[in-house]
Amino acid sequence: MNDVPDLGPMPQRVTVSAEQAGRLVAEQFPQWASLPVTAVESGGWDNRTFRLGDTMVLRLPSAQEYALAVEKEHRWLPELARALPLPIPVPLAMGRPGAAYPFAWSVYGWIDGTPATFESVVDPIRFAEGLADFVAALRSIDASQGPQPGKHNWFRGATLRTYEVQALGALDELRGHIDVAPAYEVWTQALEAQWDGTDVWFHGDLAKGNLLLEDGQLVAVIDFGTCGVGDPACDLAIAWTLLSADGRDVFRKRLGVDDATWARGRGWALWKTLVSYANSLSEDGADARDTRRVLSAILTDRG
């Protein structure tokens, strides 16, 4: 993909209450109308998430752009699930607009687990191996009919230049707070690293909140809203954002990642981290400290 996609304006998000979500269920799926609807803690940014009883979950897109992924998920997730070594969300039903909510939405089965953190991974090597095996299995699925990069997944799988304005803008904001020279070098290397054009499946947002643990071990991968086929380098950002240095080495070797793809993956990690860092300059909480840890890993580990 040679042209740089246009991200367009920021999404106009809508709010959704548990009461409103309950009305949607009662109107469209009366068989579940008696089940309680409760908001999920840290229920998401792209989607508003609610528990439906004990065994199901509602995902309601927070903006029109995120709603573009609903039909894609219903089309592809059942097929992907059959080929993957860990559980992923499988849709049970698709809802339509109603109850003053304007978008299509989904009912999924609930998957138990706790979102991963750097500290909660008890065995970094085993975790890296399991994650690499999951990514390898995803990449092995036939990509010939899969969804190409687009607004439905914010152009994951397309050129990293899509996010160049954001990355360079964040670097300008960070002058005086970090040494920007090595960051520019990593970014430039990422842009110069060529993709061979072979489409493969990717998740698109392998982030700590989408990797579920039990007893410190990886047990499920969730939130496939940004999935698609194209350049898989975006899925490598997790190597710096969550894995330890030793885990990162194992992850790369187990996947057999070449230098160019690794450089592009480091660029995806750098973009995400620079934007997070710039947005948290006045903060000193756990998330801000974790962002600083990640940036250090990206800039000191050149592969």
- Looking at residue 8, its pLDDT comes to 87
The mean pLDDT value of the chain amounts to 96
70 is a domain residue: yes
Whether 288 and 227 map to the same domain: the answer is yes
**Per-residue pLDDT reduced to its tens digit, 163-185:** 999 999 999 999 999 999 999 99
Overall average pLDDT of the 200-204 stretch: 98
Whether 106 and 150 map to the same domain: the answer is no
Overall average pLDDT of the 68-88 stretch: 98
Confidence of residue 1 (pLDDT cuts 50, 70, 90): very low
- Looking at residue 136, its pLDDT comes to 98
Whether 104 and 210 map to the same domain: the answer is no
| Beta-carbon contacts of residue 114 (< 8 Å; ≥ 6 apart) | 120, 212, 213, 214
- Looking at residue 277, its pLDDT comes to 97
Q: Percent of the chain scored above 90 by pLDDT?
A: 93
234 is a domain residue: yes
5 is a domain residue: no
4 is a domain residue: no
**Per-residue pLDDT reduced to its tens digit, 117-139:** 999 999 999 999 999 999 999 99
- Looking at residue 42, its pLDDT comes to 74
Overall average pLDDT of the 26-52 stretch: 93
Task: State pTM to two decimals.
Answer: 0.96
Q: Which of 81, 111, 141 is the last residue of a domain?
A: 111
Q: Which of 111, 136, 156 is the last residue of a domain?
A: 111
Give the integer Cα–Cα distance in Å for 180 and 278: 12
Whether 96 and 161 map to the same domain: the answer is no
Whether 125 and 228 map to the same domain: the answer is yes
* 231 contacts 157 by C-beta, under 8 angstroms: yes
Whether 62 and 77 map to the same domain: the answer is yes
Q: Which of 53, 85, 111 is the last residue of a domain?
A: 111
12 is a domain residue: no
189 is a domain residue: yes
Overall average pLDDT of the 97-105 stretch: 98
- Looking at residue 301, its pLDDT comes to 84
Domain extent for 246: 115-300
172 is a domain residue: yes
Q: How many domains are there within the chain?
A: 2
Q: DSSP string covering the chain, please? A: --SPPP--SPP------HHHHHHHHHHH-GGGTTS-EEEPTT--SSEEEEEETTTEEEEEESSHHHHTHHHHHHHHHHHHHTT-SS----EEEEE-SBTTB-S-EEEEE----EE--TTT-S-HHHHHHHHHHHHHHHHTS--TTSPPSSGGGTTTTS-GGGGHHHHHHHHHHHBTTB-HHHHHHHHHHHHHSPP----EEE-S---GGGEEEETTEEEEE---TT-EEE-GGGGGTHHHHT--HHHHHHHHHHHT--HHHHHHHHHHHHHHHHHHHHHTTT--SHHHHHHHHHHHHHHH---
Whether 38 and 171 map to the same domain: the answer is no
Whether 102 and 173 map to the same domain: the answer is no
Whether 137 and 239 map to the same domain: the answer is yes
Which CATH number covers residue 226?
3.90.1200.10
* CA-angle at 163, arms to 162 and 169, nearest 5°: 140
pLDDT of 252 over the 50 cut: yes
Give the integer Cα–Cα distance in Å for 281 and 208: 21
Whether 88 and 213 map to the same domain: the answer is no
* CA-angle at 192, arms to 273 and 196, nearest 5°: 105
13 is a domain residue: no
- Looking at residue 214, its pLDDT comes to 98
Whether 205 and 243 map to the same domain: the answer is yes
Whether 92 and 139 map to the same domain: the answer is no
- Looking at residue 3, its pLDDT comes to 78
Overall average pLDDT of the 142-162 stretch: 97
- Looking at residue 303, its pLDDT comes to 66
Which CATH number covers residue 74?
3.30.200.20
